[in-house]
Amino acid sequence: MFIAFKKKGNSKLEKAISFFTRSEYVHCELVTVKRKDKFFGYSSEPYVGVRGMWVSYNPDEWDFVEIPKVEFKEFFDKTIGKKYDYTGVLGFVFLRLSENPNRWFCSEWCATVLGFDKPHRVSPGKLYNALVSR
């Protein structure tokens, strides 16, 4: 099992996330199956919300951190289809914004699965740093 971290690309959203979080990582996924050019990931993303799907990837754009196996199916079943938390992402800039239990952003969802305290304050970069420093 892995957490996959996407590096900043050229989209305006990715550039903004990278700027405000001060990290090269702009997205993350809980990965259960990894192949050479695709993986099956669980996460939340803009326009889609919480989902599980095959993701084609370029290895130069993603870093993978191996994690111990975690049970997440029940949590996924409760959150699948929940909308993306745009306001929560702004919480990295305006720390007074509170979490919305019916909306999720990628690192918040992954950090919740991993049992992090205050997952709504965990950006992809913070999650990466926490996992590699363990």
Whether residue 104 is predicted with pLDDT greater than 90 in this model: the reply is yes
Residue 33, burial from CB neighbour count under 10 angstroms (0-12, 13-18, 19+) = exposed
Residues in the chain: 134
pLDDT tens digits for range 78-94: 999 999 988 887 766 56
| pTM of this structure | 0.92
Q: What is the mean pLDDT of residues 13-31?
A: 92
CATH of the domain at 123: 3.90.1720.10
Query: Which residue range forms the structural domain that includes residue 121?
Result: 2-132
Domain count for the chain, please give it: 1
